[in-house]
Amino acid sequence: MNLEQARSNMVEQQIRPWDVLDQGVLDLLPKVKREEFAPIEHQPLAFADVCLPLGDKPAQIMLEPKMEARILQALSLSPTDKALEIGTGSGYMAALLAAKTEHVVSVEIDAPLAEQARKNLQRAGVNNVTLEIADGSQGFAARAPYDVIVISGGAAVIPDSILQQLRPGGRLVAIVGAAPVMRAELVTRTGEHAYSTETLFETMTPYLENFAAASAFRF
């Protein structure tokens, strides 16, 4: 496989047509090598328009490349931002966030998956990610507040405890709702107890562990 041609095809045939026009995001994709974060058995599909399995659980996936790019674009990242990612997975989204922000805290509930992500990040030379093995369903308050939060998987709704960990002006992206259609939403904290929400696109993705039950969540 010609990796650079496959990467270029991914950008031109999947990502640009999905309204990802931010040049900073497009320039980042050749720098953070997606194939280096994909499991060896799935590396030939690293640039395909599919989610890639990372483990035995439905939520253990790499999101489709176009979704990752849309999320990055929506967040309008700054070099001074402090970011939280919930659901480290392979470490790829953490690496993308790390390239555009000052520091990333990434939380993964599955210890073996977290260890593989740690190895992937080290191999890629990413040194501004702190990887925590923990249940991120209530965020990670110990290092809050954050300028940016990404929930890298599905959630029934966004927990209020996670929203409260945003700084004023902070942005969060999560994929919320239930079958047959979920929504990727950009939430901006506009005040002490005020948030605005914009729907980015419709999709479907598995719930992250402990994100399926809506009863304890904020509507």
Confidence of residue 1 (pLDDT cuts 50, 70, 90): confident
In a domain, 28, yes or no: yes
Please tell me the predicted confidence (pLDDT) of residue 217.
Answer: 40
In a domain, 216, yes or no: no
Query: For the chain, how many structural domains are there in total?
Result: 1
Mean pLDDT, all residues of the chain: 95
Q: Smallest Cα–Cα separation from 106: which of 96, 116, 94?
A: 94
CA distance 183 to 104: 24
Q: Which residues of 133-152 are buried (b: 16+ CB within 10 A; e: fewer)?
A: eeebbbbbeeebebbbbbbb
In a domain, 68, yes or no: yes
Please tell me the predicted confidence (pLDDT) of residue 216.
Answer: 40
CA distance 35 to 193: 41
> Domain of 157?
3-203
Average pLDDT, stretch 193-209? 96
Please tell me the predicted confidence (pLDDT) of residue 218.
Answer: 44
Indicate whether 215 pLDDT > 50. Answer: no
Q: Smallest Cα–Cα separation from 86: which of 103, 107, 67?
A: 107
Indicate whether 219 pLDDT > 60. Answer: no
Per-residue pLDDT reduced to its tens digit, 46-60:
999 999 999 989 889
Integer-rounded Cα Rg, in Å, for the chain is 16
Residues 6+ apart with CB under 8 A from 203: 67, 175, 181, 182, 183, 184
Residues 6+ apart with CB under 8 A from 63: 51, 93, 152, 153, 205
Nearest 10 degrees: CA dihedral of 109, 170, 34, 207?
Answer: 40
Indicate whether 158 pLDDT > 90. Answer: yes
Quote the tokens at residue 207: 């719930």
In this prediction the pTM is: 0.94
Average pLDDT, stretch 137-154? 97
Q: Smallest Cα–Cα separation from 127: which of 104, 148, 152, 110?
A: 104
Q: How many helices (H) and strands (E) does the chain have?
A: 6, 9
**Beta carbons of 43 and 28 less than 8 angstroms apart:** no
CA distance 92 to 69: 12
In a domain, 159, yes or no: yes
Q: DSSP per residue over 150-202, as a string?
A: EEEEEESS--HHHHTTEEEEEEEEEEEEETTEEEEEEEEEEETTEEEEEEEEE
Average pLDDT, stretch 113-119? 97
In a domain, 148, yes or no: yes
In a domain, 211, yes or no: no
CATH number for 70 = 3.40.50.150
Neighbours of 168 (CB within 10 A): 12
Please tell me the predicted confidence (pLDDT) of residue 131.
Answer: 98
In a domain, 74, yes or no: yes
Quote the tokens at residue 1: 């496989």
In a domain, 208, yes or no: no
> Element (H or E) spanning 121, and its range?
helix 111-123
Average pLDDT, stretch 66-74? 97
